Structure 1
Amino acid sequence: MTRKKEIKLSAYLVGTGMHASSWRRDDAMPGASIDIDYYRTLAQTAERGKFDMVFLADSLAINEESHPNILNRFEPITLISALAGATSRIGLVATASTSYVEPFNLARQLMSADHISKGRVGWNIVTTRDLSGNTARNFGAAEHYELEHRYLRAAEFVDVVRGLWDSWEDDAFVFDKSSGRFFEPDKLHRLQHQGEFFSVEGPLNIARSPQGQPVLVQAGNSAAGQQFAANVGEVIFAIKYNFEDAREYYQAFKQKIAASGRNPDDVSIVLGISPVIGATEDDALRKRKQFEELLTDETILDFLADYFKDVDFTGFTPETTAQEAGLDTLQARNPDYPKHQPVIARENPTLREIYSLIIGSFSGDHLVGTPEKIANTLEHWFNEGAADGFMLMAPGLPDGLEDFVDGVVPLLQERGLFRREYTGSTLREHFGLPIPPNRFRTASEAQAATR
């Protein structure tokens, strides 16, 4: 396997930051999640740092225990369309579900955003977890789809969307005023899909974009999710909390990609990181302490009680350990839990630490410190085969992003690990991905070759 020469960098944008107390800081804007000027500034900061992309998550249901920054926020495709006009090079990735929308509508929305951005859009494919218990009811269903059903539906959904994106060959629109021919009829294709979950005629009423199709991003955790990601994902987003787990995951997932018949070098694995950056080690520790002091005991325990629905947290405090609470051996029903359980069983963290682990607000002591310490960690993980890049999930925004751009990025650039300037204009170019061939043109060419 050939090592990529440069680290890939992404920024996870979520209101005032990943930490649930980030909105309570003195300089925070509690309403940031629906402030378009604020998001424009974040995206421009990431672009100033030459990041490959910004990433916008989503949820289709909330409850009283939801993270403050997701209780009141923009719909992601709408938001990236707005951010496209405020930026010129950085990729824009929006999360969209395959479980509660129709392929035709989503194909049109994402391709429209891709044209608006001139080829900088990615689709973070999710099947939607129902952690709050009311997602299905928001869409008129009595129960949420079972995991296996979700991924079977997702595989067909993605195939339909990609087929619709190929409705028009790249040179179909001739705009010949003299002859009155707007397009070449033989270069328009109807999908005519009849499947287990969807029946879609086509064609889509928008052409392919400058990058052909949006980049497919995936973050499946279950066995079914990982297989789906290995089959279709072009950028894989994962969270691992130590080097050994990250490298093991990286190597295993690259093998899974190869087993699915794809080239592992064509797929980038980016790991979520939540560094706390300070001018000195003590400064970084002070920042981390401030986040924790603003987090109420009630917030921690109410969230965990909702997350671990089978556990009675009465009498526990945030300093109760996993073993004392019986979480080290628990096989929780929550589909998000398997990725956390090995860490909890091995390290016996406190409930406070488990909370931070689950919501992704801190990544560990190896990512708390000076810009040089953070850069050293990322360089080690990258060079030793634990990641192709990193997703910055800053505990606090905008300062966490600014500190990384102004402090860590220059160090990575000096070491030849990260670009100094953009060399491409589309998201596919940033990740070294080819423009996907049009399936209908490829099929017709193959038929012609056999005649």
Structure 2
Amino acid sequence: MASSHGRGLVHLAAALDHPSAYDALPYIEAARLAERGGLDFLTLDDTFARPGPDALDVLSRVASATGRIGLVPTITTTHRDPFHVRAAVAALDRVSRGRAGWWMDVSATDHTLVAISAAPPVSAGSETRDAGFPGTPFSAKDPSIVPRLPQGLPVRVVDATDGPARRTAARYADVALVRAASAAQAAAVRDELRSLAAEFGRGPDEPRILAGLLVDLGDGEHAAVPGHGGGGPRQTAQGPLYRGGPVDLAELIATWHGEGIVDGFHLTPAEPLRDLERLVNGTVALLQHRGLFRTFYPGSTLREHLGLGRPATQCAGTGRAS
């Protein structure tokens, strides 16, 4: 059953990962293209196994070269101090004027999951203030005197594909990503997330649920390779893959969204610049023509793009607004 939000406009995001790029220029060019298409946000991986520049550094450069699109780096807490993570994302939110998010990597170790999920208490007399992440341990570890962030709280993104991450996503995420090879698989995870979110006192549209797909649009306008279009993508070692043309991809997106299976899609181009260009000029244009995707940004922050309210910042454990 579709949610009330699911019957609105589809949400679209894309991965900005560019394995062969070692400077910011290719990322800036791709981000400007995605912004022309009106995409909600871009993600950039930053695992220690990935060569290339730091994701936060790249997206800070991208922020100054763009004006509307959201910017979401992957940042792990496994090898970083949580306070420094919070400060770095807050800095990106300021430099982008409210367009920052944070892809929480909760799959690497148990330490990461605990760091995100368990909020230590704050005494009633504490003057510690949360600059960006209420309800998480980042609220109370260190005092913060930084100004209030442009969007109140950077958008939190969690990959909820694997079972252990779903409770974290249901409790904290603004956006939950689900890498699903079929509509039935995506719908099952959606139902579980909604049930878990209700346990934590959240509404049925929290979090926004986006299907994650690797897309190979190298076949241009040709129909999708059998097994990749219409009925759903094909499972591969790299994850769910759609291979075909932008027309059938638009139909797949419209169908899953129209049936309330997901709120949108997070798409990873197989060939960064080629597939992003065909996504924007083909798939997005078709969805816009059908009235399913925005033709302009009505707001300026990532929360506005996603239809998320501005949260009230509070001291963890006290319920007092900071």
Tell me the TM-score normalised to structure 1 length. Answer: 0.62
Extract unaligned runs of 5+ from structure 2. 123-127, 229-233
1:159 deviation in Å? 9.2
Evaluate the alpha carbon distance shift between residue 114 and residue 7 of structure 1 in structure 2; reply closer, same or farther with a 3 A threshold: same
More moved, 412-421 vs 150-159 = 150-159
Matched with 1:82 is: 61
Hey, what's the Cα distance between the residues in 1 that align with 2:102 and 2:60?
Answer: 13
1:201 deviation in Å? 3.9
1:377 deviation in Å? 0.9
Matched with 1:439 is: 314
Amino acid at match of 1:200: K
Matched with 1:226 is: 166
1:444 deviation in Å? 5.2
**Number of aligned residue pairs:** 304
Amino acid at match of 2:17: V
Matched, 1:9 2:7: no
Residues 324-335 of structure 1 aligned to structure 2 (within 5 Å): none
Hey, what's the Cα distance between the residues in 1 that align with 2:5 and 2:211?
Answer: 16
Matched with 1:215 is: 155
Evaluate the alpha carbon distance shift between residue 166 and residue 440 of structure 1 in structure 2; reply closer, same or farther with a 3 A threshold: farther
Q: Deviations over 1:99-145 (max 9, x none)?
A: 2222221121111111000000001111352xxxxxxxxxxxxxxx5
Amino acid at match of 2:157: V
Evaluate the alpha carbon distance shift between residue 198 and residue 232 of structure 1 in structure 2; reply closer, same or farther with a 3 A threshold: closer
Matched with 2:116 is: 154
Evaluate the alpha carbon distance shift between residue 378 and residue 102 of structure 1 in structure 2; reply closer, same or farther with a 3 A threshold: same
* Aligned residues of 2:130 and 2:315 also touching (Cα < 8 A): no
Hey, what's the Cα distance between the residues in 1 that align with 2:162 and 2:277?
Answer: 34
* Aligned residues of 1:254 and 1:264 also touching (Cα < 8 A): yes
1:359 deviation in Å? 2.0
Amino acid at match of 1:358: A
Matched with 2:206 is: 266
* Aligned residues of 1:99 and 1:154 also touching (Cα < 8 A): no
Evaluate the alpha carbon distance shift between residue 209 and residue 246 of structure 1 in structure 2; reply closer, same or farther with a 3 A threshold: same
Residues 12-411 of structure 1 aligned to structure 2 (within 5 Å): 12-15=15-18, 31-32=20-21, 34-60=22-48, 62=49, 70=50, 72-129=51-108, 145=109, 147=110, 149-156=111-118, 164-165=130-131, 200-202=141-143, 204-277=144-217, 278-281=219-222, 357-360=236-239, 363=241, 367-411=242-286
Hey, what's the Cα distance between the residues in 2 that align with 1:164 and 1:387?
Answer: 32
Q: Deviations over 1:250-270 (max 9, x none)?
A: 222222212221012132111
Q: Deviations over 1:355-399 (max 9, x none)?
A: xx2323x61xxx333322111111111111221110111110101
Hey, what's the Cα distance between the residues in 2 that align with 1:91 and 1:207?
Answer: 21
Matched with 1:314 is: none
Larger Rg: 1
* Aligned residues of 1:56 and 1:76 also touching (Cα < 8 A): yes
Amino acid at match of 2:146: I
The structure with more helix, counted as a fraction of residues: 1
Hey, what's the Cα distance between the residues in 1 that align with 2:272 and 2:132?
Answer: 38
Evaluate the alpha carbon distance shift between residue 103 and residue 409 of structure 1 in structure 2; reply closer, same or farther with a 3 A threshold: same
1:400 deviation in Å? 0.2
Hey, what's the Cα distance between the residues in 1 that align with 2:321 and 2:182?
Answer: 48
Hey, what's the Cα distance between the residues in 1 that align with 2:310 and 2:120?
Answer: 17
Evaluate the alpha carbon distance shift between residue 98 and residue 82 of structure 1 in structure 2; reply closer, same or farther with a 3 A threshold: same
Amino acid at match of 2:300: S
Amino acid at match of 1:45: L
More moved, 7-16 vs 401-410 = 7-16
Q: Deviations over 1:137-169 (max 9, x none)?
A: xxxxxxxx5x3x542232237999x953169xx
Q: Deviations over 1:38-95 (max 9, x none)?
A: 00001111101100000012213x3xxxxxxx2x222211121111001000000011
1:274 deviation in Å? 2.3
Amino acid at match of 1:271: A
* Aligned residues of 2:131 and 2:139 also touching (Cα < 8 A): no
* Aligned residues of 2:86 and 2:132 also touching (Cα < 8 A): no
* Aligned residues of 1:108 and 1:205 also touching (Cα < 8 A): no
1:36 deviation in Å? 0.8
Hey, what's the Cα distance between the residues in 2 that align with 1:154 and 1:210?
Answer: 22
Q: SS of the counterpart of 1:416?
A: coil
Hey, what's the Cα distance between the residues in 2 that align with 1:159 and 1:98?
Answer: 20
* Aligned residues of 2:174 and 2:207 also touching (Cα < 8 A): yes
1:207 deviation in Å? 1.3
Evaluate the alpha carbon distance shift between residue 218 and residue 375 of structure 1 in structure 2; reply closer, same or farther with a 3 A threshold: same
1:415 deviation in Å? 1.2
Tell me the TM-score normalised to structure 2 length. Answer: 0.85
Q: Deviations over 1:261-314 (max 9, x none)?
A: 1012132111112233334327x76xx9xxxxxxxxxxxxxxxxxxxxxxxxxx
Evaluate the alpha carbon distance shift between residue 2 and residue 208 of structure 1 in structure 2; reply closer, same or farther with a 3 A threshold: same
Q: SS of the counterpart of 1:421?
A: coil
Q: How many percent of aligned residue pairs carry the same amino acid?
A: 30
* Aligned residues of 1:281 and 1:368 also touching (Cα < 8 A): no
Amino acid at match of 2:5: R
Evaluate the alpha carbon distance shift between residue 159 and residue 166 of structure 1 in structure 2; reply closer, same or farther with a 3 A threshold: farther
Evaluate the alpha carbon distance shift between residue 368 and residue 359 of structure 1 in structure 2; reply closer, same or farther with a 3 A threshold: closer
